[in-house]
A and B are shown apart, each in its own frame.
Chain A
Amino acid sequence: MVIFGMMFYLFAGLTLLSAFLTLIARAPVHSALWLIFMFLNGAGLFVLLGSELLAMIFVIVYVGAVAVLFLFVVMMIKPQREVLKKEIKWYKRIPVLIGIFFGSEMVFILGGWSFVPVASTLDQLPSRVQISNTTAIGNILYTHYAVLFEIAGFILLGAMVGAIVLTKRAPKERYRQKMSDQVLEKKKNRIKICHVDIRKGV
């Protein structure tokens, strides 16, 4: 079982390393690529835990959809780096502080993690020998959490409709000739007759 331990430290180390490189990479495209690498390592960790379905979902959803979308966005936006750099300099110290805070907190919490005896009775996971991963998730997702599954559908619907509404441009913003408006236009609305004094202007 040493190999499992080694694999765990390999994946975990690479996850941390690539997360760090995502932050400090200079080109945004490199950041996105490191992010994809981080997700792949995360999927590896899931495999080690014995949840192969989650690992595959992780790869398909995060690497396949989200990260590739990031790549597209990053490639389409032209970064104005010189302007950004000056403004960002001051803010650079704040993430370090937050990082120290979160890191020490994790050490505190995980340092002496222990379970209350009552908590083990609440565990809903079936044993992995008897039932496959996919069946287990399906069993609970479509029975116990069926309502929440439907709500998640509504959230996605809302996000989709919202994205369409906000990116849609009203037709009047396009430049299009309207014959009726031109014919019906009155002189007084368009032409202003001024009496201009000499050497004074309007």
Chain B
Amino acid sequence: MGTILRDLLCFIPELTLGGLILIFLGGAVFLKKETQGSVLFGKVMFGVLGMVGILVLLQNLEPLYIFNRLFISDTYTIFVKVLVLSITICIYSFSFSSLKSEKVIGVELYVFILMALLGMFMVIGSNDFLSFYLGMELQNIAFYVLVSFKKDSLKNNEAAIKYFILGVVASGIFLFGASLLYGAVGSLNFQDIGNVLGASTLESSSGIPYALFGAGVGLLFIMVSFLFKVSIVPFHMWAPDVYEGSPLPIVAFLAFAPKVVILSVILRLWALLFSETTVFVASSVLKVFPPMIMGASLLSIIVGTFGAFGQSNIKRFLAYTGISHMGFVVLGISLGNYSGMHAALVYLLSYIIMGIGFFASLGALRYPPGFSRIGIVKDLSDLKGLSKTHPGMSFSLAILMISFAGLPPLIGFFSKLYLLLSLIETGFVGIAILGGLSSVVAAVYYLRIVKDLYFEDAEVSLEVVTPLSFFIPLFLSLGGTVFFCIYAEPVLLYVSILMKMLLGR
């Protein structure tokens, strides 16, 4: 009884989210008008998300296995949960007005945002492939609905169908891999898998360890489905189409939250199975994994960089740049040592900080009434000459673009520096040079946007819609981008504590 009580106490944020989903669904029945309900719920959401955040922060920092080791709760899970929650709050606070302008509003929207959040919390806390799968499926179903929310638009329907079918295929691949892994190892628990794989190489000195081969192929399938979710190159095809068809706030949600979640699980698994501290990797089938993942991430850096060149649509552009940035993060993880994983997490943080600001600024830019297109700005060329009408907005966009390009005093420079340094430290000088070169190429189109903002004539004078809540994410993001060089020390220290904990040092 004592342990159940303790487990439930550790699970309070998830329980609260689940309860709120039910309350929202039930409450929607009693509201007279749909618009009235959506406005009311929209305001309640801020309080709800804040409350969940406080509950997460109140959790015990000690590592605890809960519900028969199905879930885990430690500093790392709490950090990632707070990160995902703050992403959600930031995106939500600027998206509330733009969702209205895209005519995507309804009580169900909030229910599905909460449901996605619940699923993501489960995935972050999972310590078992079964709990991981169920959490991921909850999150996926919520995202399938969120992506297809604009049901009158043909583009949106196409995006939704593509995302749904490819997502289901990825889930199927994951299940196939998990069943092979279960057959070979006898358990789906992360620690058990690590123990069994560690024991298998010690005994199989004669002959090929076939059981490990089964586990290896299983892990390969699982990795493939992970890479699909993070949109790493051989599995990136869905991202541009899905981004293009979906409403901008939902694209922002889709571009950050699920990727952070899956990457956090990849980091945990990688530290457990493939890091330099695990001895069995060098002598088994599993040794093909790090180079393979490294190759995929390098490819995705290159494909993302060159794919973004020809894009005129902003969302497609964002999808390709996202592919190349995710490539950098996974490149850091695939090194498997402390400095690489440290740099990967810092890179991920910097990508989130810059990206949130960029999405928030884009969400505020609207076509003027009477123009041939309506809603949020869609093409990169429409940003031309923005500095003449809206100097503040174009200044913040320019800062973010320069940071994305990786120029010195801003956060984008430092995160790339750490990553390339850790590559060189580990001995992959060639890959570091390739990564550096492709970020030089990427700088071309980031700086082209700055040129468009300041040195071109406007083709359309955009409107800027700035409700009060829009400034929270923008100022957080700009502050993080500009002042990172001053307060970098505590952030790096905290990330290094997390990584040391994961690697068991």
Q: CB within 8 Å of B: which residues of A? A: 105, 108-109, 111-120, 122-123, 144-148, 150-152, 154-155, 157-159, 161-162, 165-166
Which stretch, B142-150, B356-364, B408-416, touches the partner chain A? B142-150
Q: Which residue of A lies closest to B160 (CB)?
A: A166
Q: Quick check: A111 and B67 within 8 Å, CB to CB? A: no
B residues in contact with A109, CB < 8 Å: 180, 210, 213-214, 217
The answer to the question of B13 belonging to the interface, with a C-beta cut-off of 8 Å to chain A, is no
The answer to the question of B295 belonging to the interface, with a C-beta cut-off of 8 Å to chain A, is no
Q: Which residue of A lies closest to B108 (CB)?
A: A165
Q: Once bound together, how far apart are the Cα atoms of A18 and B196, in whole Å? A: 37
B residues in contact with A114, CB < 8 Å: 210-211
Q: Mark B160-195, 1 if CB is under 8 A from A, else 0.
A: 000000000000000000001001111100001001
Residues of B99-148 contacting chain A, CB below 8 A:
106, 108, 111-112, 115, 118, 122, 130-131, 134-135, 137-138, 141-142, 144-145, 148
Q: Once bound together, how far apart are the Cα atoms of A41 and B185, in whole Å? A: 28
Q: In angstroms, how far is the closest chain B Cβ from the Cβ of A159?
A: 5
B residues in contact with A115, CB < 8 Å: 184, 186, 211
Q: Once bound together, how far apart are the Cα atoms of A119 and B188, in whole Å? A: 11
| 16 further A-B pairs in the complex, CB-CB below 8 A; given A150-B18, A161-B145 | A109-B213, A109-B214, A113-B210, A115-B184, A115-B211, A116-B196, A116-B200, A119-B185, A119-B186, A123-B186, A147-B11, A147-B71, A155-B138, A157-B21, A158-B141, A162-B141
Q: In angstroms, how far is the closest chain B Cβ from the Cβ of A90?
A: 17
Identify whether the interface residues of B are mostly helix, strand, loop, or mixed. Answer: helix
Q: Quick check: A161 and B111 within 8 Å, CB to CB? A: yes
CB < 8 Å neighbour of B134 from A120, A123, A155? A155
B residues in contact with A155, CB < 8 Å: 134, 137-138, 141
Q: Quick check: B137 and A113 within 8 Å, CB to CB? A: no
The answer to the question of B151 belonging to the interface, with a C-beta cut-off of 8 Å to chain A, is yes
Q: Once bound together, how far apart are the Cα atoms of A44 and B246, in whole Å? A: 45
Q: Quick check: A122 and B186 within 8 Å, CB to CB? A: yes
A residues in contact with B214, CB < 8 Å: 109, 113
A residues in contact with B148, CB < 8 Å: 166
Q: Quick check: B186 and A148 within 8 Å, CB to CB? A: no
Identify whether the interface residues of A are mostly helix, strand, loop, or mixed. Answer: helix
Q: Quick check: B208 and A120 within 8 Å, CB to CB? A: no
Q: Once bound together, how far apart are the Cα atoms of A148 and B71, in whole Å? A: 10
- Known A117-B203, A145-B70; judge A122-B217 contact (CB<8 A): no
Q: In angstroms, how far is the closest chain A Cβ from the Cβ of B135?
A: 7
Q: In angstroms, how far is the closest chain A Cβ from the Cβ of B84?
A: 17
The answer to the question of B68 belonging to the interface, with a C-beta cut-off of 8 Å to chain A, is yes
A-B contact pairs, 24 of them (CB 8 A): A105-B217, A109-B210, A112-B210, A113-B184, A113-B210, A114-B210, A115-B184, A115-B186, A116-B199, A117-B199, A118-B200, A119-B185, A144-B68, A145-B130, A146-B67, A147-B70, A148-B70, A148-B130, A154-B115, A154-B138, A155-B134, A155-B138, A158-B112, A161-B111
Q: Once bound together, how far apart are the Cα atoms of A109 and B285, in whole Å? A: 12
Q: Which residue of B lies closest to A153 (CB)?
A: B18
The answer to the question of B9 belonging to the interface, with a C-beta cut-off of 8 Å to chain A, is no
Q: Quick check: A108 and B213 within 8 Å, CB to CB? A: yes
Q: In angstroms, how far is the closest chain A Cβ from the Cβ of B213?
A: 6
Please tell me the size bucket of the interface on B: 35 or more
Q: Quick check: B203 and A116 within 8 Å, CB to CB? A: yes
Q: Quick check: B106 and A154 within 8 Å, CB to CB? A: no
Q: In angstroms, how far is the closest chain B Cβ from the Cβ of A32?
A: 18
CB < 8 Å neighbour of B67 from A108, A120, A147, A161? A147
Q: Once bound together, how far apart are the Cα atoms of A157 and B217, in whole Å? A: 33
Q: Once bound together, how far apart are the Cα atoms of A51 and B151, in whole Å? A: 44
The answer to the question of B288 belonging to the interface, with a C-beta cut-off of 8 Å to chain A, is no
Q: Which residue of A lies closest to B185 (CB)?
A: A119
A residues in contact with B149, CB < 8 Å: 165
Q: Which residue of A lies closest to B141 (CB)?
A: A158
Q: Quick check: B145 and A165 within 8 Å, CB to CB? A: yes
A residues in contact with B137, CB < 8 Å: 155
Q: Which residue of B lies closest to A115 (CB)?
A: B211
Q: Once bound together, how far apart are the Cα atoms of A154 and B148, in whole Å? A: 20
Q: Once bound together, how far apart are the Cα atoms of A45 and B267, in whole Å? A: 39
Q: Once bound together, how far apart are the Cα atoms of A116 and B106, in whole Å? A: 54
B residues in contact with A157, CB < 8 Å: 21
Q: Which residue of B lies closest to A159 (CB)?
A: B141
Q: In angstroms, how far is the closest chain A Cβ from the Cβ of B357?
A: 31
Q: Once bound together, how far apart are the Cα atoms of A165 and B149, in whole Å? A: 8
B residues in contact with A116, CB < 8 Å: 185, 196, 199-200, 203, 211-212
Q: In angstroms, how far is the closest chain A Cβ from the Cβ of B73?
A: 13
Q: In angstroms, how far is the closest chain B Cβ from the Cβ of A120?
A: 7
Q: Once bound together, how far apart are the Cα atoms of A161 and B149, in whole Å? A: 12
Q: Quick check: B180 and A151 within 8 Å, CB to CB? A: no
B residues in contact with A144, CB < 8 Å: 68
B residues in contact with A151, CB < 8 Å: 122, 131, 134-135, 138
Q: Which residue of A lies closest to B116 (CB)?
A: A158
Q: Quick check: A166 and B145 within 8 Å, CB to CB? A: yes
4 nearest A-B pairs in the assembled complex, by CB-CB distance: A112-B210, A119-B186, A162-B145, A122-B187
The answer to the question of B460 belonging to the interface, with a C-beta cut-off of 8 Å to chain A, is no
Q: Once bound together, how far apart are the Cα atoms of A179 and B134, in whole Å? A: 51
Q: Which residue of B lies closest to A121 (CB)?
A: B186
Residues of B376-406 contacting chain A, CB below 8 A:
none
Q: Quick check: A158 and B186 within 8 Å, CB to CB? A: no
A residues in contact with B151, CB < 8 Å: 166
Q: Quick check: A158 and B195 within 8 Å, CB to CB? A: no
